[in-house]
Structure 1
Amino acid sequence: MWNWSGSDLKLRLTLRVAIVSTLCFAVISGYFLIEADRSVRGRIAAVADVAAKTLELQQSKIQWLNNARSEFPDLDSVAASVMTPGLCLAFRSNSGEISQRFCGGAQTDTAAPPLAFAALYRRLFDPGREAVQQVVSRGNAIGEAVAWIDPAVPTAEAWHDAGRLMAVFMIALPLLCALVYAALARALRPTRQIRDGLERIAAGDLAARLPPFDLAELSAIGDVFNQLAERLAAALSDRNALTQKLILVQDEERRHLARELHDEFGQSLAAIRALAASARQTAAADCPPLLAECDGIARTATDMMETLRGALFRLRPPDVDELGLAASLEGLVAGWNGRARGQPRFEITISGSFERLAASVSANLYRIVQEALTNAAKHAGATRVMLRLEMREPPPGGGDSTIVLAIDDDGQPGDPDPKGDPQLRSGLGLLGMRERVAALGGRLSFETGQPSGSSLRVIVPVAASREAAQVERAA
């Protein structure tokens, strides 16, 4: 059975045209065969009618002349005028006896039809059927004029006519299919543009638009496509703007929380350490057994201060604009190595100069790295994390410099989210990373290895990031 799935539309329509044409040919051929058989039947019936009337005239002449010696029946005159190849003419008396019969010879210039066609034609049309007309004299039937045709003759004629039709059909059908396929290929040529437009939309190019087409149906599809692209671009723009606001709110909340922790919790810990030191001095003079408890309180306060300092560093990192992106990332990695104490192991490689980057660009890249390292260390259980930051110079043919950020780890990926990406549970996670990269005009890809490991790639054009920074400052 023909498999229609994934087949070419032009081929599919051309095959349907071929099938319909074949059916039409079969119907037309059947119609011609029926009309030919009807014509033969009518001709035989007319011959039988002429023969019957001739015999009636002969019988009337005999009776009028009272000449019993006259020959009856006499079909010579009729046979001489109507006889054709394969035609038979006879007179049959009331007793069923054939008194006279004439038959024309069969054609010799017509090829014999195949046995299968002959058997089918005879089953459908019964070409040897007789045409009978009564011969009446003085109101009484004295016999029948019978005409019939040799079945081989109409069968051979039908095969000859069908062969000519078949030859015409075998020539016309390929030409028709070729013309239909060419016409369809020309008419459906705009579908390539529609497919290219859809692929551009799928790749994230929301500026893709379709031109007007000659066909009204395709032109309507193009109008709907352009409207959909415009609405999608507007919706994504609104979503990006909302996400940017959420990111700004998150950063502001982090700064506010960092100030609150530093001002309130930090001062309280400093006061506890001071009270512990004072209590130790008093205990050293009055109650030596309390020295150990005072030292324990001081150590606990010191550990809490270190923990608070790490939390403040993550909530509000050092000013990237002042230190620079490279120095800030090196400090971030050093902090993680210091806290992790070798497990996991963080490594960083930086190539190129990042001193002229805008502050917002450096801050967004820093947050992306911070989010990725946090996920690798706390959620993926990685034992080794590799961070590479590279400033790639423009190609020789011209273009812009690009910032390439790559983070690889050997941890276990998280549970996939509905979009197929592993879910990063820290902050806004992967969504926040994507929006930060989108705000810089870059691209982000995240892949998980089998059975473990993950790779994060971020590519940001420097020119696009500068424009994004200008728009952010204007907003």
Structure 2
Amino acid sequence: MNPTPAPSAPTHRQPAAASAAAFDLQRALLIRIVLFGLAATGIGLAALGWLARQAALSDLEPTGAIVQQLLSQDQPRLADPFNREQIAVDLAVLAPLARRLAFCVEVEDLWGRVIARDCMAPAPALAGTALPASGLAALAGDAGVARFGLLRPPGVTVGEIRVAPHWAAELSGWLGAVGVLALAWLALAALAVVLIAPVRRALRPADRILAAIGQLEAGDTTVRLPAFELREFRRIGEDFNSLARQLGETRAAERRLATGLLDAREAERRHLARELHDDMGQHLTSLRAEAAFLRHVADGDKAALLPSLDIIETSLAQLHESVQGIVQRLRPPGLDAFGLGNCLAQLVRDARRRPDGTPVETELAVRGDLAALPGEFAVHVYRIVQEGLTNALRHACANRVTVAVACDGGRIEVEVVDDGLADGSAMDTRGGHGLSGMAERVAALGGSVALAPLHAGGMRLAAGWPLPEARP
């Protein structure tokens, strides 16, 4: 059978979501929301950290002044005012201040010895903030330390007070803002759901539009889209329906034209076959009769004419046989007289030998009432079976060919299966115009032809088209 691919329905395109370059609006919207949330979180945390740092540094001088005042006022209670070598500091007096402010304090005597050191805050610092806090302190440098003198009445300096921000507490407060941001993330997630849900609902018709386009590509011009809720999709649906309607009308007109051409061609073939059979056949028969008479006359005195008469008789016989073959190809002579079923049976019986003389096993299976087919449809079925058998015997080297014809369900199905060659080289050798002409014939009838190799070996030719009452 010929490998020439038959016209078939276009393959439905893949959904846009399956393409790497496709644009998914829902996914794009979700990605943008997430990116916006991440950017807002980063900017928010950076802004909170910067504000916390600036607040800590700006509060450093007032806090240090209060610490100096409290510690200096407590000096008469702890040590002799005139003894500058014995210095005592009780940081407990700073507890009321620590309930409102976070700070670190360190006290040195005049000889540079640290006599008191502590960090105080309204709430304990979070675990794991010590190391980042030391980094913040290093970044702040001298600007992060306020220095004051430790005084004894009447204003004698006995030491130095160094006050610095409680960076661990500040960092804990900054991290506490993450909880607020988490709530913001929840709100953002709720916003995403609120936005994506209507987008998904609005885009749902897109799947239906893609499915309708696939049906239209497959040749179903009766597909129609409903009136969608979204205005843009409604306009698309209206334009699609108009396009499908026009395409259906155009295809119907083309099919009527092609069918008319097929019918006209078959009518012309029928006329030519009749003319050849009735006119040329009679002349050839008459000439053969005259040649036979001349042979009878030449048997006596004209024996020298006998070789020429032999040649004339042989040529006339071959010409008569050729004319009968042409008539057979133009129009099966028994199709009108004996019906399609009998002609197919005779055609399958005659195809029991390959051109090299090798016998071939053939089988015909018929389902449905072939006698009810219109005359032109009977010719189409006969031609397709004839072409399928010719290609199977001539190109496939088949030992068995099965022909099946079904006429039911408003369709005609023709199948020719052989057990011959089905590899790539065989596909190349099964070329020619046979399957092309068959595909054009079936396409004009609104059907399709397929040629495919079988798993068990061989080839399968399948053709099908709707009956006249079932055509769109």
Pair in the same fold by TM > 0.5: yes
Is the Cα contact below 8 Å between 1:386 and 1:409 reproduced in 2?
A: yes
Identity %: 26
Partner of 1:141: none
Secondary structure of 2:373's partner?
Answer: coil
What amino acid is the match of 2:292?
A
TM superposition shift of 1:256: 4.7
Which of 215, 239, 248 is 1:233 aligned to? 248
Partner of 2:257: 242
What amino acid is the match of 1:318?
P
Which of 452, 455, 461 is 1:456 aligned to? 461
Partner of 1:25: 41
Aligned pairs (5 A) from 1:325-340: 325-337=340-352
Is the Cα contact below 8 Å between 2:262 and 2:441 reproduced in 1?
A: no
Task: Note if 1:189 corresponds to 2:204.
Answer: yes
TM superposition shift of 1:337: 4.7
Paired with 2:244 and 2:410, the residues of 1 have a C-alpha distance of 30
Partner of 1:14: 30
Partner of 1:406: 415
TM superposition shift of 1:285: 1.7
Partner of 2:54: 38
Sort the Cα spacing of 1:270 and 1:124 in 2 relative to 1 into closer, same or farther, 3 A: farther
Sort the Cα spacing of 1:465 and 1:247 in 2 relative to 1 into closer, same or farther, 3 A: same
Which of 266, 278, 287 is 1:251 aligned to? 266
Paired with 2:137 and 2:391, the residues of 1 have a C-alpha distance of 84
Paired with 1:308 and 1:379, the residues of 2 have a C-alpha distance of 26
Deviations 1:10-41 (A, max 9, x none): 45643553343233222222222222222223
Paired with 2:395 and 2:27, the residues of 1 have a C-alpha distance of 54
Deviations 1:74-130 (A, max 9, x none): xx9xx89977544357999xx9999999976245533223567557x7289648843
Sort the Cα spacing of 1:343 and 1:91 in 2 relative to 1 into closer, same or farther, 3 A: same
TM superposition shift of 1:4: 8.5
Aligned pairs (5 A) from 1:212-231: 212-231=227-246
Aligned pairs (5 A) from 1:314-463: 314-318=329-333, 320-337=335-352, 343-380=359-396, 382-392=398-408, 400=409, 403-412=412-421, 425-426=433-434, 429-438=437-446, 444-449=449-454, 453-459=458-464
Unaligned runs of 5+ in 2: 1-17, 70-81, 85-90, 150-159
Partner of 1:139: none
Paired with 2:202 and 2:141, the residues of 1 have a C-alpha distance of 49
Partner of 1:130: 144
Aligned length, in residue pairs: 425
Task: Note if 1:286 corresponds to 2:295.
Answer: no
Paired with 1:4 and 1:317, the residues of 2 have a C-alpha distance of 53
Paired with 2:328 and 2:239, the residues of 1 have a C-alpha distance of 51
RMSD of equivalent CA atoms:
5.0
TM-score after normalising by structure 1: 0.68
What amino acid is the match of 1:453?
G
Is the Cα contact below 8 Å between 2:57 and 2:165 reproduced in 1?
A: no
Sort the Cα spacing of 1:200 and 1:458 in 2 relative to 1 into closer, same or farther, 3 A: same
Partner of 2:468: 465
Deviations 1:18-77 (A, max 9, x none): 34323322222222222222222332355579999x9xxxxxxxxxxxxxx9x9xxxx9x
Is the Cα contact below 8 Å between 1:212 and 1:222 reproduced in 2?
A: yes
Sort the Cα spacing of 1:41 and 1:199 in 2 relative to 1 into closer, same or farther, 3 A: same
Sort the Cα spacing of 1:259 and 1:370 in 2 relative to 1 into closer, same or farther, 3 A: same
Partner of 1:59: none
Partner of 1:64: none
TM-score after normalising by structure 2: 0.69
Paired with 2:129 and 2:117, the residues of 1 have a C-alpha distance of 28
TM superposition shift of 1:315: 0.4
Secondary structure of 1:29's partner?
Answer: helix
Paired with 1:47 and 1:335, the residues of 2 have a C-alpha distance of 116
What amino acid is the match of 1:327?
N
Secondary structure of 1:110's partner?
Answer: coil
What amino acid is the match of 1:122?
L
Partner of 1:65: none
Paired with 2:131 and 2:459, the residues of 1 have a C-alpha distance of 72
Unaligned runs of 5+ in 1: 55-68, 136-143, 393-399, 417-421
What amino acid is the match of 2:218?
A
Which of 159, 168, 185 is 2:183 aligned to? 168
Is the Cα contact below 8 Å between 1:37 and 1:125 reproduced in 2?
A: no
TM superposition shift of 1:262: 4.0
Sort the Cα spacing of 1:337 and 1:169 in 2 relative to 1 into closer, same or farther, 3 A: same
Is the Cα contact below 8 Å between 1:129 and 1:148 reproduced in 2?
A: no
TM superposition shift of 1:166: 5.2
Deviations 1:125-149 (A, max 9, x none): 64884366999xxxxxxxx997531
| Structure with larger RCO (C-alpha < 8 A, sep 6+) | 2
